[in-house]
Amino acid sequence: MIEQHHWVEDSNPSSTPTIHDICAASRRTVLQGGVGAALGGLFAPWLAGCASASAGGAPLLGFRSVPVSQADAVVVPEGYVAQVIAPWGEPVGVAGAMPAFRADASNSAAEQAVQMGMHHDGMAYYPLQGSSRHGLLALNHEYVDHGLLYPDGRQGWSAEKVRKSQAAHGISVIEVAEHDGRWEVRRPSTYARRITAYSPFAVGGPAAGHPMLRTAADPSGRTVLGTFNNCAAGATPWGTYLSGEENWIYYFACDRQPDAHEVRWGLRRGTGARWHEHDERFDAGRHPNEPNRFGWIVEVDPFDPNSTPVKRTAMGRAAHEGATTTLTRDGRAVVYSGEDARFEYIYKFVSRDRMQPGGARANATLLEHGTLYVARFDADGTGRWLPLVHGQGPLAAANGFADQGEVVVKARQASDALGGTRMDRPEWLAIDEARREVYCSLTNNSARGTAGMPGVDAANPRARNTMGQVIRWREGDDFDAITFTWSHFVLAGDAANERAEARGNVRGDAFACPDGLWMDRRGVLWICTDMSPSAMGRGEYTRLGNNALLAADPRSGEVRRFLTGPAGCELTGATTTPDGRTLFVNIQHPGENSESGDSSGAQRSSHWPDGGQARPRSATVVVRRLDGGLIGT
């Protein structure tokens, strides 16, 4: 997501002190010494350690950086080739239902429901029979541009338009294969599937059946229609796909003053996405529990198109950016997730039970039981995971937490009460299994340190943070540890900027607004950027060009620009095949903010990937080396 288009709200009024408030000495270090002093003090030991590690090993990055670009094109390094597959509107491959995309966007809602959704985001590759040349791609579709989705744009709102908008959200599963160096979507496919904003979901975990999830249409509180505004995602070791519901609150209308719980979750009086005009459940004034049924991490079995996806409530309700999974040494699942909103939190869930052999069916309840934690980053470079468990500390009935179901529904309020660290929009996470380190991108927070907003702290050390950072931590002996040590891997920025807080400490190619993260099997950290199209090429972003996919060596800290995207897009969803020889990455919202162009399309800022005067379409890009070698070497 980007700060402008994702309706960022400051819905955390918690009086919980930040690290800035707790540790006056640290505050003075940051404010008096500036960013450089903070780096030289708290973060130097880790940076030095990484540099020394790199000196003893072979370089991880072997490609030559591509230059900054403002072209309406995908640019890859010399020796690589990029191919577009599965753009918005292309059929996913459901047998007997494969309508072609119409260039004037006149496809019906029913046709859209079996076509690729709009604005591809988090993605994972699932090999078929262990193959790196034949597998499934599961990906979600974050949001839509109504000006592009219909032939007449936003004019003439109707039930059909609402239904098509809902159909363009959700999740797609497609079968892909490589033949003679080119990848294709296999159609028809027995795996092909579309999950939309009106597909049935089961509810699992402590909030299943809870009074806060019950509605007139679902008095049991156990079946929810749809998922939407899904952002980052992750594959589990047992072969399922996890997708986070992010800015779901803005789809709800409310014609009354919201109560305190609703305000904490960002509900505002107004019309939302106008779905409520033809789908009554999105009227929060009439159905106040319906918003509580969104904001969950959902689990999908990509190998079984007839399976019912599940909302996993044990992992807490949030503006989830995604879910990244690993295993403890004894086989329990650990899922990390960020909440992409200003001054919100980073979470970890540790399952009670161990993963079993047998894939999705054998682990159907693995994410039902366990402990949810929120992160606290202390100023001395250590941290602690604080358990969101009913009956422990302030999480009691007297404070508005009647049971564990209410704790997970009110995960923000519970994190406020526990004193979690309020972060600069934590988004994707990546795990270095070999070094047992976890990375999290903090995209930006231009409100940090402004009037009435929380000030800087050790983990979020820059006021008016327009550039973002990547933070990382190591959790002692195993991923279920309660304590950890942390540092910043990089403070993004451009060394040529006048404002010190926007310069950063990037070693290599300058960048801003880190968003998507992916750690490949060689240990390369891939970073997708998400500068706002309305700010791209201006002010502190002037020299950075279009958004990019970068590769970073965690040992040396070196960052190289691997790929640049077309005008107005966000890079997201990067992942590779198991052999590391094919990279998939999503181009989201090319030409964003250009939907107001005239009917010929001449005024649009992007026509990617079709060219001419075509509507811009989100799509997946496949990148390979011409010699068939490992990506990035």
Q: What is the pLDDT of residues 119-161, one digit of tens each?
A: 999 999 999 999 999 999 999 999 999 999 999 998 999 999 9
d(CA 80, CA 583): 11
pLDDT digits (tens, 9 = 90+) for 30-87: 323 334 333 333 333 333 333 333 445 788 999 999 999 999 999 999 999 999 999 9
Query: Following DSSP, what letter does each residue of 23-63 receive, concatenated?
Result: -HHHHHHHHHHHHHHHIIIIIHHHHHHHHHHHHTS--S--S
d(CA 282, CA 229): 14
Cβ atoms of 142 and 229 within 8 Å: the answer is yes
pLDDT number for residue 603: 79
Query: Following DSSP, what letter does each residue of 129-168 receive, concatenated?
Result: TT-SSEEEEEEEE----HHHHSTTTTSS--HHHHHHHHHT
Which residues, other chains included, contact 494 with Cβ-Cβ below 8 Å and sequence gap of 6+?
A: 467, 502, 503, 504, 506, 510, 512, 540, 541, 543, 544
pLDDT at residue 354 tops 80: yes
- Average predicted confidence (pLDDT) for the chain: 91
Which residues, other chains included, contact 155 with Cβ-Cβ below 8 Å and sequence gap of 6+?
A: none
d(CA 284, CA 269): 10
pLDDT number for residue 21: 38
pLDDT digits (tens, 9 = 90+) for 442-494: 999 999 999 999 999 999 999 999 999 999 999 988 999 999 999 999 999 99
Q: Which of 124, 119, 171, 175 is nearest to 144 (CA)?
A: 119
pLDDT at residue 225 tops 80: yes
The one-letter amino acid at 77 = P
The domains of the chain are located at 19-246+295-625
291 phi/psi in degrees, rounded to 5: -60, -30
Residue 26: pLDDT band with limits 50, 70, 90: very low
Q: Give me Rg for the CA atoms of the chain.
A: 23
Residue 262: pLDDT band with limits 50, 70, 90: very high
pLDDT at residue 201 tops 50: yes
User: Three-state secondary structure along 462-504?
Assistant: CCCECCCEEEEEECCCCCCCCEEEEEEEEECECCCCCCHHHCC
Cα torsion through 375, 377, 383, 385, rounded to 10:
-10
d(CA 49, CA 231): 34
Cβ atoms of 307 and 202 within 8 Å: the answer is no
CA atoms within 13 A on the CB side of 118: 26
Give the torsion sign (CA, 254, 255, 261, 267).
positive
pLDDT digits (tens, 9 = 90+) for 271-290: 989 999 999 999 999 999 99
Neighbours of 496 (CB within 10 A): 11
Architecture in CATH of 19-246+295-625: 6 Propeller (2.120)
Residue 600: pLDDT band with limits 50, 70, 90: low
The one-letter amino acid at 628 = G
d(CA 371, CA 359): 22
Which residues, other chains included, contact 98 with Cβ-Cβ below 8 Å and sequence gap of 6+?
A: 91, 114, 187, 188
pLDDT above 70 covers a percentage of the chain that reads 90
